[in-house]
Each structure stands twice: as structure tokens, then as C-alpha cells.
Structure 1
Amino acid sequence: MGGSSADIEALLIDVTDPNNQTPGMLPAIFRDIIGRLDAAGLAYAVVGRIALALHEQARFVSVIEIVADLDVDRRQEAAEFVRTTRARFAECMDPHPFRRPISLTLRPCICATEMRLLADAIILPWFGVAARLASAEHLLWVCCRTEPVTLDDAERHVDAIALIAGGAVDLHRVQGLLRETDDVDEAGQRRLRLAIGDAVLSTTSSFSRFMAERRARLDPNYVPVWRWLQTETASDDEP
């Protein structure tokens, strides 16, 4: 059920204040930071719900999340990229009350496993610029690796369910990646199992509702064609 950046753009509206133009500035901010990363030759992948829209249904987005291969020497350079972009779009990125500011996160890979996952990034035109979007496996791995502390972290569980229910992810591979990076408590694998269970329940529940609604719409006097044929055959066989 993958989409495009156009699907995200259609949702960039502040429903509480239609005159607020801040959400609509996200594509411009995205192009700015991606241009800086490309010019610097940094390997990166866009994660979060911007990349999720490639694999699943688009949702409202106000956060640009990027992970990059940053050694110690290049982290300062990357931090300067973020500062420059924030300064250029300060009106849209400062935390004004009730303005839905756009936030930008550029972090280094947290381990060698994530560094390898950067190679799986899919290069596509996104908001008018060629961008490297994280694979479905990378996104699910991030969702399961994240301890749900903030509200944004808790929403990752919802994203994980969507990825699994949509069938766009290789679960066996993600499980293997989590085995590489999990702690002794296997928290990541536990979150994956929970997301799989919730995805199955949501899919089963949706199918059950569909069948219930379908049965409710059926004419109680309707007779299937196969039953008519059975009746006619029985009549022909009678002496």
C-alpha cells in the first residue's frame, strides 16, 4: 500500500488553524537538509513517517528524521547543517505555541547493524528531490529498538503494526537484526512479537467486521446460483 510524497503533502494542513502555513513548509525544509547531505557526500537514510509513506499509508508528518553514517569528525559538520537549516526556516521550526513547528533530527547510526542498513535505502524523488528512504526492514528495526518513553516513541508501535499488517517487511530478517543488537532482556524482539500480535488482531478484526457488514447487506431471500442448480438437477433426476 505504498504511496508517494504527494500523499504526505496533501495532509500537511493544520486543521485547528487553516491559516497556519507552517505544516506546508516541510517539503522545503526537507529539500534543504537533503541538499546539504548530498553535497557533503554523506551516506544517510530518511526514517520516520516520511519514509513510512513509501511502504504504508501516508500520515500527517511534522518531524524530519534522518540517520547518517557520521564518524566523530563529521558529527560537528552534520550539526552545523541542522543549525543552518533551522536558522533559514526559523519561523517554521521555532516552538511557537499552537503553531505545529517542524522539527529536524539528524543522528548518527547507533551501531554497525544500522550502518549496514543504510545500504538498503531506496533512492526516489521525494518532495521534488532525490532522497534516500529507509527500507521497511530498517524502519521496523528502529521501531522495535526504541524504548517507548515519549509520545512520539509510543507512536512507533503503531507504525510497526502498520508495516507488518501491510506485508511490506521481511519479518525473519528484522528478527535476525534484532538478535544482533538486543540486550539480554531481548526487549526489541519482545516489541516485535507484540507488534506482530497486534497486527494479526487488527487484520482479523477488520476481516470480521467486513464479513459481518457483508452478511448484514445480504437479502435474506437471496438464493445462491449453485443452490438453484442443485434444485434443477434434483428435479431432472426425478422419474
Structure 2
Amino acid sequence: MTASSAEIEALLFDGNDLSNPTPGMLPAIFRDIIGGLDAAGLAYAVVGRIALALHEQARSVREIEIVVALAADEHERIAVLTRATQERFAAHLDPRQCEHPIVLTLRPSTCTVEAQLLADAITRQWFGVQARLASAEHLLWLWCHTEGPDHTMNASALIVGGTVDLYCVRGLLRTTDDVEESGQRRLRLAIGDAVLSTTSSFSRFMTERRTRLDPNRVPIWQLQRAKAADSGER
């Protein structure tokens, strides 16, 4: 299942304050920073829940996360781009001006796997601009490689979607894992959560289906067997 940026936009509202304009400003902020990256000629890939929606059902998004290809002496370039966008959208990005601001994170790629993440990024029309989004495999690798409050939930959702190559992700983790194999452990936990979620959903579906059936209904196979038996007796 794949969603679209339009489906993300449908979720951009503040449930506690429907008049709050900040959630709805995320697409404009996204377009602004992507435009800056394109103008600067920088290779990048969007990660996080914005990219998850390319591979699975859209979920609520309050953060823009982007990995950028930079040389060691170029880190100031993304700092300048980030500050420019933050100044233009200060009312929605500055925690001093907004109670629940949108979080904008740009960071340089840090390893060979992230360099490949950038190379394998998928170009799509997203929030009205051409943007490069991380592949399902690199998203899952990232969420298992690093810890974060929503990483397990996001990883499980991606696995349930069935679009990710788990063998590929295991291979990526083997090249970056620590001695305790924390990434492999997180992947196993995410797979377990995905299986439990799917099993639970299927069980609930079957329970609801059974309650909708007429208790006096006779399955067709029983009717056919009874009919055959009657024919044989005659």
C-alpha cells in the first residue's frame, strides 16, 4: 500500500486546536527547503514519516527530516539553508513563537550506507515539488540502526506494508551494526510487532465476520454434501 503527500496533508491539523495554522504549513516549509537544496545543487533524501507515506499508509507528520550529501568542509551550507527557512517560517518553526512547532532537521550523511541511501532515493512529486524520498529498505535500516521514540512503530508499519526487502535490510545492518548487534535486535522486534499486529487484525476481522453470519446459515459445502447423499439414496 502506498499513500501520497495529499493524504499526509489531510492529516495536518491540531486536534486540540483546529484553528492552529502551524500543522498546515508543513507543505510550504517542505517546498521552501527542497527548493533551497535544489538551488544549491545538493544531493539529498527525505527520510522520516514524510518518506514513509511513499511506501505505506500516511501517518501524522510534524517533522521534516532530510539527509544531505556534504563534504567535510561544507556543513555550514546546510546550516545557512536551515536558518533561511527558519527565518521565513519562524511563526511555525520557532518554539518561542509556537507552542508545538514543526521540526526541521537537515544533517549530513555519515556512512557508506547513507551515501547509498542518497543514491537510491526515489524522485516523486511531493507537496507540489519534485523531491527525493528514501527507499523502503533504507528507511527501515535507518529506524533499526538508530534509536528514536517513533522508530519501532514506524519500522513495524513499514514491514506490515509488505513493500520492504527484509533480506536487503539485514545486509545493510550487518555492515553498520555494533558489537551487540543492536540494529539486528531492533529489526527482529519490529518484525515481531508487525506479525502480532497483522495476526491481531486478522483475528479481529474473523471474529467480526462470524458475528455477522446468520447462526442458522448452512455452509454451501454442507448443502452440496446433503444433496449428493440424497441422490445416492435414490
TM superposition shift of 1:40:
1.2
Paired residues in the alignment total 234
Q: Does 1:42 align with 2:42?
A: yes
TM superposition shift of 1:96:
4.2
Q: Where does 1:29-178 land on structure 2 (aligned, <5 Å)?
A: 29-96=29-96, 99-147=99-147, 153-178=148-173
Please give the alpha-carbon distance, in whole angstroms, between the structure 1 residues aligned to 2:188 and 2:207. Answer: 28
For 2:210, give the aligned amino acid.
R
Which is worse superposed, 221-230 or 78-87? 221-230
* Gaps in structure 2 of 5+ consecutive residues: none
Q: Residue 223 and residue 97 in structure 1: after superposition, are their counterparts in 2 closer, same or farther (change >3 A)?
A: farther
1:150 aligned partner: none
SS at 1:154 equivalent: coil
Q: Provide runs of 4+ in structure 1 moved above 6 Å.
A: none
Alpha-carbon displacement from aligned partner over 1:185-216 (angstroms, at most 9, x marks no partner): 10001100110011111111111111111112
Alpha-carbon displacement from aligned partner over 1:39-60 (angstroms, at most 9, x marks no partner): 1111110000011111111111
SS at 1:228 equivalent: helix
2:232 aligned partner: 237
Please give the alpha-carbon distance, in whole angstroms, between the structure 2 residues aligned to 1:220 and 1:97. Answer: 61
* Gaps in structure 1 of 5+ consecutive residues: 148-152
SS at 1:72 equivalent: coil
Q: Residue 83 and residue 98 in structure 1: after superposition, are their counterparts in 2 closer, same or farther (change >3 A)?
A: closer
Contact 1:20 1:99 in 2 (8 A): no
Please give the alpha-carbon distance, in whole angstroms, between the structure 2 residues aligned to 1:15 and 1:215. Answer: 35
Q: Residue 46 and residue 5 in structure 1: after superposition, are their counterparts in 2 closer, same or farther (change >3 A)?
A: same
Please give the alpha-carbon distance, in whole angstroms, between the structure 1 residues aligned to 2:167 and 2:206. Answer: 31
SS at 2:73 equivalent: helix
Please give the alpha-carbon distance, in whole angstroms, between the structure 2 residues aligned to 1:164 and 1:97. Answer: 38
Contact 1:136 1:163 in 2 (8 A): yes
For 2:28, give the aligned amino acid.
A
Q: Does 1:206 align with 2:220?
A: no
Contact 2:90 2:97 in 1 (8 A): no
TM superposition shift of 1:71:
1.2
TM superposition shift of 1:99:
3.2
SS at 2:65 equivalent: strand
TM superposition shift of 1:98:
6.6
1:25 aligned partner: 25
Please give the alpha-carbon distance, in whole angstroms, between the structure 2 residues aligned to 1:66 and 1:135. Answer: 13
Please give the alpha-carbon distance, in whole angstroms, between the structure 1 residues aligned to 2:122 and 2:13. Answer: 27
Please give the alpha-carbon distance, in whole angstroms, between the structure 2 residues aligned to 1:5 and 1:24. Answer: 12
SS at 2:149 equivalent: helix
For 1:49, give the aligned amino acid.
R
Q: Does 1:191 align with 2:186?
A: yes
Please give the alpha-carbon distance, in whole angstroms, between the structure 2 residues aligned to 1:231 and 1:83. Answer: 77
TM superposition shift of 1:67:
0.3
